[in-house]
Amino acid sequence: MTTTAVPDPLRVIRPDVRAMHAYPVAASTGLLKMDAMENPFGLPPALQAALGQRLGALALNRYPGARQNDLKAALAAYAGAPEGSAIILGNGSDELITLLALACAQPGTGQRAKMLAPMPGFVMYPMSAQLQGLDFVGVPLTPDFELDEAAMLAAVAEHKPAITYIAYPNNPTATLWDEAVVQRIVDAVGAQGGIVVMDEAYQPFASRSWVTRMRAEPQRNGHVLLMRTLSKFGLAGVRLGYLIGPAALVHEIDKVRPPYNVSVLNCEAALFALEHADVFAAQAAELRAERDALLPRLRALPGVLKVWDSQANMVLVRVQDAARTFEGMKTRKVLVKNVSTMHPLLANCLRLTVGNAADNAQMLAALQASL
């Protein structure tokens, strides 16, 4: 009896997707998790109980509805959105990055749209460009992780990107770049008709926000979208991102959003958190203080070659052997992020999350023993 060969169904998957690696989420069971910039603080028990009652009363048999408008209004008030703004909600900022690429791609035109960002930066920018059919242009930062203004302006002039991402502060470097330099890049992108996305995922830990520039000079920043997430606010498990910008621009991007992308559970949890924003603000203040105390202690460790200043809830350090130090810390039950292979400028660098005092002490001890 002869058998007919069955075609491999994997052949219908795009070759570039098959060649990719999935976004890695490291196993962390039994480890102190200091690799993902999560807020170490949970809700106080009384607020946990109150949130549970709210979520338990929701109509889970119904699709999400007008309650999302309440969340948009609350987020606009919390962020100080400029007059005339509109908001898109996303399943984390990751989904918003995908929607932006999808809205700006030019399939079937014979001319691929371009996305530009300083590098090293957030890995989802080039990934979203690849998956949605945009060409990604990465512009290297300086060796000290500042913006290379001349290189950025030259790249904008040459490539005329549809989307330019500026992470403010940047991940993984925790850098908050010079405001005047950023504004000149924003102006250059606007002059050639592109969109700038100011990614403020780490805004609770930064000393300034681009929203003040958007309010002060709305016309000059009329092509700027402000992207934030509640993950670093303290709700990483809720998956709620939001994009603020001029209503006409936001409404066009909103057309590619799935109609029910944010669940009633996500929505209600976010509203509850904003009603108790003072609790989360106190947590952010504590983490900023812990960060400022952590920096000199890291710099005092023999074997730590460089520690960069931080405007986020992470610290980038350079050691003599990142791979060996990472494994040593993992053996000592502390998980950090080895970013040394992400970009040549990050050679032998580790990214450390800023935690509470006890977490930071345990992380420091593991680092010192692993150097």
Residues 68-79: b if buried by 16+ CB within 10 A, e if exposed:
beebbebbbeeb
Q: How many domains does the chain have?
A: 2
Reading the block at residue 325, the tokens are: 């130090």
The answer on 156 and 210 residing in a single domain is yes
Residue 206 lies in a domain: yes
Average pLDDT over residues 332-346: 97
Q: Would you give the DSSP letter of residue 178?
A: -
Question: What distance in Å separates the CA atoms of residue 276 and residue 284, rounded to the nearest whole number?
Answer: 13
Cα–chain center distance at 58: 29
The answer on 97 and 209 residing in a single domain is yes
Chain segment 243-263, per-residue pLDDT in tens: 999 999 999 999 999 999 999
Unique residue bearing structure tokens 């200043």: 309
Confidence of residue 2 (pLDDT cuts 50, 70, 90): low
The answer on 291 and 213 residing in a single domain is no
- The yes-or-no verdict on residue 24 having pLDDT over 90 is no
Question: What distance in Å separates the CA atoms of residue 15 and residue 169, rounded to the nearest whole number?
Answer: 34
Element (H, E) at 18: helix 15-18
Coil, helix or strand at residue 252: helix
Strand ranges across the sheet with 224-229? 85-90, 241-246, 224-229, 195-199, 163-167, 114-119, 135-140
Decide: residue 218, CB within 10 A, 0-12 exposed, 13-18 middle, 19+ buried: middle
The answer on 227 and 353 residing in a single domain is no
Q: What is the pLDDT of residue 180?
A: 98
Question: What distance in Å separates the CA atoms of residue 10 and residue 13, rounded to the nearest whole number?
Answer: 5
Q: What is the pLDDT of residue 97?
A: 98
Residue 292 lies in a domain: yes
Average predicted confidence (pLDDT) for the chain: 96
The answer on 192 and 69 residing in a single domain is yes
- The yes-or-no verdict on residue 214 having pLDDT over 90 is yes
Chain segment 182-200, per-residue pLDDT in tens: 999 999 999 999 999 999 9
Q: Would you give the DSSP letter of residue 165?
A: E
- The yes-or-no verdict on residue 22 having pLDDT over 90 is no
- Give first-to-last CA distance, the chain, whole Å: 64
What's at 109, amino acid-wise? T
Cα–chain center distance at 130: 18
Cis amide bond preceding 120, omega within 30? yes
Element (H, E) at 130: helix 124-132
The answer on 246 and 332 residing in a single domain is no
Domain of 200, in residue numbers: 62-276
User: Considering Cα of 94, then 151, then 224, then 105, what sign does the dihedral take?
Assistant: negative
Domain boundary among 249, 276, 303: 276
Residue 334 lies in a domain: yes
For position 348, which CATH number holds?
A: 3.90.1150.10
